[in-house]
Homo-oligomer: A and B are copies of this chain.
Amino acid sequence: MGYGRGVMDADVLPGPNSPLPPPFSALTAEVHEARMRRALRQAALAAEAGEVPVGAVIYHRDRLVAQAFNQTRTLKDPTAHAEMLAITQAASALGDWRLLDCALYVTLEPCAMCSGAIVLARIPLVVWGAPDPQRGGAVSCFQILDSPQLNHRPALLGGVLQDECSTLLLDFFKSRRTANHDHPTTEVPPP
């Protein structure tokens, strides 16, 4: 499992085997997978809507406080990534811009925009499925979630249900390419 292009030492890459700090250390692999499966269901809704299939959910302790899928095309809004919509939802649900005691689960490594939002919201745990070596803002292309320069560094866990998360994206882009071949003007906003 590789997240980047040699920007982080392989031994310190976040992954299912890395220890998480408390209280997240108490969460079992089954809990992480069940939550990611819920994010995957959001991603599937995105695919049905013709959107790049990325889904996100946020838990405040054991309670689900947000679930969203990428809607950049539907809303004609480049900022409408799954994580952004989920962060706004969770802040609204909790009545606070600080998402303390929250864990974000997202099917794809967050981009630079979403990683920046995660830091601003001070989310303490970020879990993702598929890595994004080209555009990942968390640890791949930029190291926004692992930067000593910023005032918040969440715990990270990558690769949860990676195969399912990646397959959903690959299938979507494969079917898009076929559609573009028939209708070459179709364009999908980037994830």
Contacts and interface: CB of A to CB of B under 8 A. Distances in A.
A159 to B, nearest CB: 22
Q: DSSP class of A's interface residues: helix, strand, loop or mixed?
A: loop
Interface in A134-167: 134-135, 137, 141-142, 144, 147, 149-151
A94 B92 CA distance: 28
Which of A84, A119, A121, A142: most chain B CB closer than 10 A?
A142
Interface in A175-191: 189-190
Contacts of A147: 141-142
Contacts of A112: 112-113, 115-116, 119, 137, 142, 144, 150
Contacts of A190: 120, 151
Contacts of A134: 149
Interface stretch (A21-29, A38-46, A72-80): A72-80
Nearest to A133: B149
A148 B73 CA distance: 25
Contacts of A114: 113, 116
A104 B122 CA distance: 27
Nearest to A187: B98
Given A78-B87, A78-B91, A141 B150 contact: yes
Given A76-B92, A79-B87, A142-B144, 8 more contacts: A72-B120, A76-B97, A79-B79, A112-B119, A112-B137, A112-B144, A113-B114, A120-B189
25 contacts: A72-B97, A73-B97, A76-B92, A76-B95, A77-B87, A78-B98, A78-B121, A79-B79, A98-B189, A111-B116, A111-B120, A112-B137, A112-B144, A113-B113, A113-B115, A113-B116, A113-B117, A116-B116, A120-B189, A120-B190, A134-B149, A135-B149, A135-B150, A137-B144, A141-B149
